[in-house]
Structure 1
């Protein structure tokens, strides 16, 4: 773990001491080296799954793909932000990259924590850099409102979790993920019901579950490109990762108490998919599609079967790469048209034909085209849900149809048709943007060849 954490921490002095003209290339190169180093974590050494183990941090086959995704995204965020941040004063540029690096540091520590209280602290600490990025570098005047929603939704969900963890520590005497499963902590009274709800609601708000999802579209729409990328690709996955860790610990109660949350998650797939069909804002549509996909992940985790967990991990990784790429594409359109409205940004295929190809590929990935890992994750969750209850196939099937519909709607609305008269002549796409999207699609293609890396158990 330290071979990732130390180089990431050493980025902080480097960012502030580098000569200005070398700031962007050197930080990008350094973060790419860290991303390459992170691939070495994929080797599973032990039969207990826990490897790279020390007293406070460790990785296993559940956390490893998420750590690698976190490390992979930092150079991509720096690449994506370069165009619109490079016009700002030098100290603000340094501060912006520092916030991105601090997010990576906190996320590596969150995903590798073996103490649940350490995971909770890192889980909450990611709020601060994300909030600063949204409220300081957001695009519109609504960014303060979006930051407030983001902060209070997450805090309101997380405070019961803190109380529950203190109660657990008082009862069990330990909060180590390695040993807490071996300790009996299941009192048959109302306290256990509260404990179960408190432990999971924080993560369901973070995912977010339909019903407590209103902060996400606001945060996505107002955030700069790097904020949207890290939110969609990694921060939502913190909720799923926390649920996987906690449901195993609270296992006896999960079978009975999970029903309302599973129903809400499945209903949310259809509702948020339907909301996508009538969105006029490009980023808002992609944000609501994230809520829909995370509903599928939440239902897969809550039924607590090996296939459900595996499907959830695969879908989290695949969705992280796909949604991040879609936000990058929306940003390239926004930088040229200065509008995210689909009606005002149509006909882009004529102006930027190569970028339209990327739009087509990523829209197909978003609707889970075979043989992409998105389809593998969705199919595994749908099959395990069907095995759990036959009725779920109606909701998941309709959700799949709606996903295909809004993905095509997004592509057709933004790429096809005549170019609006209000658009001035646009600059063509840059090599940097094509490199950025290539670095998104390469892991997706490689995971088709070796999906065992994100199965969640040793192979």
Structure 2
């Protein structure tokens, strides 16, 4: 694993001496090498210097490398200055994500978890749209810091008590509610769970397209990955208290789905839909069933590609009309008919229609939820219906209706088509690959 980390670190000269195309090709080469040399496994392998690989981190590292390249593609056409600085920050984020998903030590994970906040805030403050990005950056900073500082105290307490912070050796039997609350708070803020989600729409709306892509596809998945690691450490504790977070998530997902229906901002609606889908991920994990865990993991991957693609297409609208409002972006079928299929597929996959990866994952989550609490079936049906409603609303309001004739455009670049296709292909072919395995 250290070899691949050094491959990524040695890409730093490309940030200052070459173009962003060279950086994107380097991401692609490293991703292909990673796929070729590594195989999924059920135990830690390729261990070196505190880094390793297992089945949980494998797909998330692949997702990090893909989204890192797509972030560069998304900013190629719109960015005219500070290309070197943007490439360097993108590389820092990729390195931090690689370390976070491959580290074996709890303290290493915490350090990389916190370090990601710095380049992300610089992206929002430096390349954001409106002056309100300063407030958004403060929300992101303080939510993350105040939730994660108690975790640092807990890690030091664990190190003092058991003198070991490696995930494969930590197996504890404590059922202390305070320890459980500290562990859950930091990861629930990162998801984010309902009632802890207020920073996410603020950050998404004010961030540039690359910031929205990495927030939706990777930063939210850090909470799920950390929760999986912590569940393996405190198994009895999660069996004892999981019903609390299950209840908050199932009610919160339904309420957030209703909030999506009254949004007038495209990016704000996509951000709130992420909160609703992450509530489903929490519900699947809290059931403590293998189907729920794997369904949540697959939903994180599907949401990573789908939500990132939605933010990218929303930025295409914004770059043409200079507005994110549904009341301005209407009747786009007349102006960009070639983009309607991509936007339609992303909206359909966002509502978890077959044969997408989201459909399979939500089906597995539903089965695990019914085994955990039978009446959750009715609430899950309502949540899925509301997700379908706001996804349909998002497509029909933007591409249908009467346009106001304030703009006229129809040209979409090949780079933009390529970026949309790269988002869509994994959502279709990963289920086909999984079906071939079984």
TM over 0.5: yes
**How many residues in Structure 1 have an aligned counterpart in Structure 2?**
438
Query: Are the counterparts in 2 of residues 56 and 115 from structure 1 also a CA contact under 8 Å?
Result: yes
Who is 1:426 aligned against?
A: 409
Who is 2:126 aligned against?
A: 136
Q: Deviations over 1:136-160 (max 9, x none)?
A: 1111111000000001001111011
**How far apart in 2 are the matches of 1:393 and 1:187?**
32
- Give the alignment of 1:355-370 within 5 angstroms: 355-370=339-354
Q: Deviations over 1:361-396 (max 9, x none)?
A: 100000001121101111111110111111211221
For 2:224, which of 233, 236, 240 is the aligned residue?
240
Who is 1:412 aligned against?
A: 396
Who is 1:400 aligned against?
A: 384
Q: Does 1:54 align with 2:48?
A: yes
CA separation of 1:308/1:42 partners in 2, compared to 1, >3 Å: closer, same or farther?
A: farther
Query: Are the counterparts in 1 of residues 14 and 22 from structure 2 also a CA contact under 8 Å?
Result: no
Who is 1:149 aligned against?
A: 139
**How far apart in 2 are the matches of 1:44 and 1:80?**
30
Q: Does 1:444 align with 2:427?
A: yes
SS at match of 2:77: helix
Who is 2:235 aligned against?
A: 251
Q: Deviations over 1:313-337 (max 9, x none)?
A: 1000000000000001100000000
Q: CA offset at residue 15 of structure 1?
A: 1.3
For 1:66, which of 45, 60, 68 is the aligned residue?
60
**How far apart in 2 are the matches of 1:427 and 1:263?**
47
**How far apart in 2 are the matches of 1:35 and 1:80?**
18
SS at match of 1:84: coil
Q: Which moved more, 1:336-345 or 1:30-39?
A: 30-39
Q: Which moved more, 1:275-284 or 1:255-264?
A: 255-264
Who is 1:293 aligned against?
A: 277
Q: Deviations over 1:414-436 (max 9, x none)?
A: 10012213x22225111110011
Structure 1 segments of 4+ aligned residues over 4 angstroms from their partners: none
Q: CA offset at residue 42 of structure 1?
A: 5.2
Q: Does 1:186 align with 2:173?
A: yes
**How far apart in 2 are the matches of 1:99 and 1:393?**
44
SS at match of 1:53: strand
Question: RMSD of aligned C-alpha atoms?
Answer: 1.5
Who is 1:38 aligned against?
A: 34
Q: CA offset at residue 258 of structure 1?
A: 2.0
- Give the alignment of 1:190-339 within 5 angstroms: 192-339=176-323
Who is 2:22 aligned against?
A: 26
Q: Does 1:16 align with 2:16?
A: yes
**How far apart in 2 are the matches of 1:4 and 1:142?**
38
**How far apart in 2 are the matches of 1:359 and 1:236?**
22
Who is 1:377 aligned against?
A: 361
SS at match of 1:180: coil
**Bigger relative contact order, structure 1 or 2 (CA pairs below 8 A, ≥6 apart):** 1
Query: Are the counterparts in 1 of residues 264 and 326 from structure 2 also a CA contact under 8 Å?
Result: yes
Q: CA offset at residue 41 of structure 1?
A: 5.8
Query: Are the counterparts in 2 of residues 38 and 71 from structure 1 also a CA contact under 8 Å?
Result: no
Q: CA offset at residue 451 of structure 1?
A: 2.3
- Unmatched 5+ stretches in structure 2: none
TM-score, normalised via structure 2 length: 0.97
Q: Deviations over 1:262-303 (max 9, x none)?
A: 111111110111111010000000000000000010111122
Q: Does 1:116 align with 2:106?
A: yes
**How far apart in 2 are the matches of 1:263 and 1:4?**
41
Q: Does 1:80 align with 2:74?
A: yes
